[in-house]
Amino acid sequence: MTDQRPITTTDAGAPVASDEHSLTVGAGGPNLLQDTYLLEKLAHFVRERVPDRVYHVKGGGAFGYFEVTQDVTPWTKAAFLNKVGKRTPVLARLSTVAGEEGYADTDRDVRGFAVKFYTEEGNYDMVGNNTPVFFVRDPMKFPDFIHSQERMPDSGLRSNNAQWDFWTLSPESAHQVTVLMSDRGTPRTWRHMNGYSSDTYMWQNAAGERFWVKYHFKTEQGIQNMTDAEAKAMRAEDLDFHRRDLRDSILRREHPAWRVEMQIMPVADAAGYRFNPFDITKVWPHRDYPTIPIGRMVLNRNPENFFAEIVQAAFDVANMVPGIGPSPDRMVLGRMFAYGDSNRYRTGPNYAQLPVNRPLNEAHNYNKDGPMRYHHNGNQAVYAPNSYGGPAGDPRRFADPSWTVEGAEIMRAAYEAHPEDDDFIQPGRLYRDVMTPADRDHLVTNIAAHLGTDVERFIQERAVRDYWAKVDPDLGARVAEQIGLAAMSR
């Protein structure tokens, strides 16, 4: 019977003689440099990885669709949102923030929640987290925050001390740390957590009216979290629990889904609002701006090649489409550079030509050459202006999204304080008014376990006195008591 398997070839398509044996001088002699297939195989093997993301390294993802369920044309002219029932293909990537590849999925951490919408007007990337707030409000502090969460340069170990040192010297982090140290910091699965833009964006409708917006992806599976003990037990059982769960649920045809809801603020409301609405460390209370359902996201297809479609997936906050733009949220404006630059570093300047990152519509611009470029424009002029029919921008139809909050000189300064711009008001209300007694007990236990391990005493004292006691005196006292700071407990 003839072997019907395809013949092994080099990357150039030439057939090779063996998959098992190198070309040698006799049966016992040395390998030969002329064994070009061996050299190609080894050279490719040691180049199989691209640089890791600096953060959000460990993750997974799946493909699916977003469907419009309500008319949103009063708020945005984005084409993929222009009709009820319209579906747009999506890729969602879920991840941890601080852990490397191989890290336990269930460790306490914020989870990344990134969605790429493949729209007819280009790719739109909504890059958020499973929390509605973040640790810092200015991009100047973002690298420092990440450095405090990652491994120390001298020891190669992560440091609770560094984390608490940074957090307690950055009071704006209190809201996010309250969420992180609750059971929300250990979601049961990716399917059982919400996603949020966290940042504020701008929508513009066909009439030119502008609105400030926040995205909420509400899990249809229901919120489920692990206790700290359950999360640690799962670390010993399955380091890839969340990644495996997402894949297996889709294989079982239990397709995870999220309701997409928006908070929408008229532009005129921002200047007089009681706290700065562009501060990512704060939520907009739902009593002021209730969420409005607009659609539904369903994930129904696993990647066929994890490296090609998930590892190389490139999300860029700057990828927006007509009808959607940035806001004065400083983290948005900083991330609009950093994410694209990260992609160019990891997979090269032509990363957008990879199938997982390529838009549905044809790209037309004057970029040329660079590593791994394979799409080209023939004899089209590679400069503008030109006399040969190259693409041209249209400032009338596609003006840059813009806004005016107040006329002011460009400067480096903190946000101007609003009446309730206190970093501890909202986490205090979360503790007192939202959390159940069991939630509060778990929060105290989780904080104490983390703060009480390898953290210097003066930082522990600061954490209690200047951080948790300001969130709520009872919370501060309970944490102090559990970590042995009896003199500060009441």
Cβ neighbours of 336 (radius 10 Å): 17
* 304 shares a domain with 433: no
* 318 shares a domain with 211: yes
* 142 shares a domain with 8: no
- Give the CATH number for residue 41: 4.10.91.20
Q: Is residue 323 part of a domain?
A: yes
Name residue, tokens 């991009």.
139
Q: Is residue 287 part of a domain?
A: yes
Pure H helices in 128-210: 142-149, 160-168, 174-181
- Give the CATH number for residue 297: 2.40.180.10
**Which of 325, 353, 381 is a domain's end point?**
353
Could you give the number of structural domains in the chain? 3
The set of residues, in sequence order, having a beta carbon less than 8 Å from that of 169 and lying 6+ positions away, is: none
Question: Token pair of 210, please?
Answer: 């502008």
8 A C-beta contact, residue 213 and residue 326? no
Task: Identify the burial level of 155 via C-beta atoms within 10 angstroms of its C-beta, where 0-12 means exposed, 13-18 middle and 19 or more buried.
Answer: exposed
Query: Looking at 31, 82, 129, 216, which residue is catalytic?
Result: 129
**Which of 332, 353, 374 is a domain's end point?**
353
* 139 shares a domain with 185: yes
Number of Cα atoms under 13 Å in the Cβ half of residue 121: 16
* 74 shares a domain with 15: no
* Domain membership of residue 193 as a residue range: 59-353
Question: Is there a catalytic annotation at residue 129?
Answer: yes
* 348 shares a domain with 454: no
The set of residues, in sequence order, having a beta carbon less than 8 Å from that of 272 and lying 6+ positions away, is: none
* 177 shares a domain with 203: yes
* 83 shares a domain with 4: no
Taking the CA atoms of 304, 356, 311 and 130 in sequence, report the sign of the dihedral they define. negative
* 216 shares a domain with 311: yes
**Which of 311, 337, 353 is a domain's end point?**
353
* 276 shares a domain with 154: yes
Pure H helices in 288-329: 306
- Give the CATH number for residue 437: 1.20.1370.60
Partners of 219 in the β-ladder: 258
Q: Is residue 407 part of a domain?
A: no
* 92 shares a domain with 23: no
pTM here is: 0.92
Q: Is residue 381 part of a domain?
A: no
* 339 shares a domain with 434: no
Query: Looking at 21, 31, 44, 56, which residue is catalytic?
Result: 56
Q: Is residue 109 part of a domain?
A: yes
Q: Is residue 2 part of a domain?
A: yes
Q: Is residue 95 part of a domain?
A: yes
DSSP-assigned letter for residue 273: S
Pure H helices in 287-378: 306, 330-347
Q: pLDDT (tens digit, 0 to 9) for every residue of the chain, 490 residues total?
A: 457 889 999 999 989 999 999 999 999 999 999 999 999 988 898 999 999 999 999 999 999 999 999 999 999 999 999 999 999 999 999 999 998 999 999 999 999 999 999 999 999 999 999 999 999 999 999 999 999 999 999 999 999 999 999 999 999 999 999 999 999 999 999 999 999 999 999 999 999 999 999 999 999 999 999 999 999 999 999 999 999 999 999 999 999 999 999 999 999 999 999 999 999 999 999 999 999 999 999 999 999 999 999 999 999 999 999 999 999 999 999 999 999 999 999 999 999 999 999 999 988 888 888 888 888 778 888 888 888 888 888 888 888 877 776 666 667 788 889 999 999 999 999 999 999 999 999 999 999 999 999 999 999 999 999 999 999 999 999 999 999 997 665 5
Q: Is residue 434 part of a domain?
A: yes
